[in-house]
A and B are shown apart, each in its own frame.
Chain A
């Protein structure tokens, strides 16, 4: 099969797919290895970029999916009207962060980190499909356990869970230092 035809096929396939298409599925479609498929996708991506097209290919949630260019967002927003249900609240973000990094995790475990009840937040995250109940934990009460969903990866534009920003202790200057080493510098006070 000619290379240009292969790329056309990928473009058409991704156009049809509503969910991220797995690399293996694309390779199977073209009857090539996954490495070749990946190279072809990269080439197609370059073609799309070079031709100043309105769409790109995004690698999200373990697959490839077509999407609009970020630069077009302001225009599209106006044209589409208020769509989706908006950004997540701080409470939802904190809860989601705990689930993302500690999963599978129970409600009690989440609440113990946040220090507040989380049932409503969890309810909303479930409704938005960003998390899901993946079973029950063995032990007293057999509590439900929560994990993130593929929708979560799409929502944040992540390839997979390894693509999450690292949860590192030295991001914050004021508390990440060793216990003794912090006399010299003072963190900038934050005005709320």
Chain B
């Protein structure tokens, strides 16, 4: 903004708690002896000045302003006989009394100050370079939004080569496509269920696949989904990304037998 002949420096606040904390400090009073009315006024004045400077005000600041006003008005009104159930409340500031507010501020202060201690530790530690061979780490973000790290090195290359070879082999295995009538889903469904009941235990997916033909794979898959949908079988994994096991849903089975 070059038309202004001077720059106004507004401190940057990390959030409404940070701002409130700053205002209390500026008032040079103890957190516990601050008057809610006074702090509300200062808070609103600050937001006003932000507005005049055309700064974006994050929504959290506005929610806090509303919270403060609500607390203040509560003080003015005669107390209702019993606390009415709160209407849809923004969970971020589910604060219902000045005391609660100051408790929350106090907790925030604790972590804000600890963050400063960590900052010192960081500065100390940044003077030390821990041993590293300078390799690059590779990050993979999965669809679940979690992060995995792989060490990028010779073995990664061999892994890539292997998966390429596997893909090539899979491509070479040309599936013969028969007509769909050869593998009706209903038959497959019955045979899977029969196999499961006879074996009496959980079986992995591979137990139901009789050939590598495409239609066999598709009908098995659809049959299992259908069985699961009808709740005749249970699908489970012993760990994330583990193999999928299929078992007869005993409850359903009993239900059927009782009904019969």
Closest-CB distance, A176 to chain B (whole angstroms): 9
Bound Cα distance A21, B183 (Å) = 57
With known contacts A127-B147, A182-B33, A94–B128 Cβ distance under 8 A: no
> In the complex, are the beta carbons of A101 and B114 less than 8 A apart?
yes
**Which A114-134 residues sit within 8 Å CB-CB of chain B?**
114-117, 126-127, 129, 132-133
Question: Per a CB cutoff under 8 Å, which of B116, B132, B146 touches A133?
Answer: B146
Residue of A nearest to B63 (CB): A115
Residue of A nearest to B16 (CB): A115
Chain A residue numbers with a CB within 8 Å of B22 are 192
**Which B105-134 residues sit within 8 Å CB-CB of chain A?**
106-119, 121-133
With known contacts A171-B113, A177-B30, A68–B17 Cβ distance under 8 A: no
Closest-CB distance, B17 to chain A (whole angstroms): 4
**Which A155-185 residues sit within 8 Å CB-CB of chain B?**
155-158, 165, 167, 169, 171-172, 174-175, 177, 179, 182
Closest-CB distance, B258 to chain A (whole angstroms): 33
Q: Which of A25-33, A34-42, A85-93 contacts B (4 or more CB under 8 A)?
A: A85-93
Bound Cα distance A177, B106 (Å) = 12
With known contacts A94-B111, A96-B118, A189-B26, A111–B92 Cβ distance under 8 A: yes
Residue of A nearest to B112 (CB): A94
> In the complex, are the beta carbons of A18 and B111 less than 8 A apart?
no
Closest-CB distance, A185 to chain B (whole angstroms): 10
> In the complex, are the beta carbons of A129 and B149 less than 8 A apart?
yes
Bound Cα distance A101, B11 (Å) = 27
Chain B residues close to A by CB (< 8 Å): 11, 14-18, 22, 25-26, 28, 30-33, 58, 60, 64, 91-93, 104, 106-119, 121-133, 135, 139, 146-147, 149
Q: Would you give 28 A-B contacts (Cβ < 8 Å), ordered by A?
A: A67-B128, A67-B131, A70-B124, A70-B128, A71-B127, A87-B123, A88-B122, A90-B14, A93-B115, A93-B116, A94-B112, A97-B114, A114-B17, A115-B17, A115-B92, A115-B93, A116-B60, A127-B139, A127-B147, A154-B130, A155-B125, A156-B118, A157-B125, A157-B128, A165-B117, A165-B121, A172-B113, A190-B25
Given contacts A18-B132, A114-B15, 10 further A-B contacts (CB under 8 A): A14-B131, A87-B119, A93-B122, A97-B115, A112-B92, A113-B107, A157-B128, A172-B113, A175-B31, A175-B106
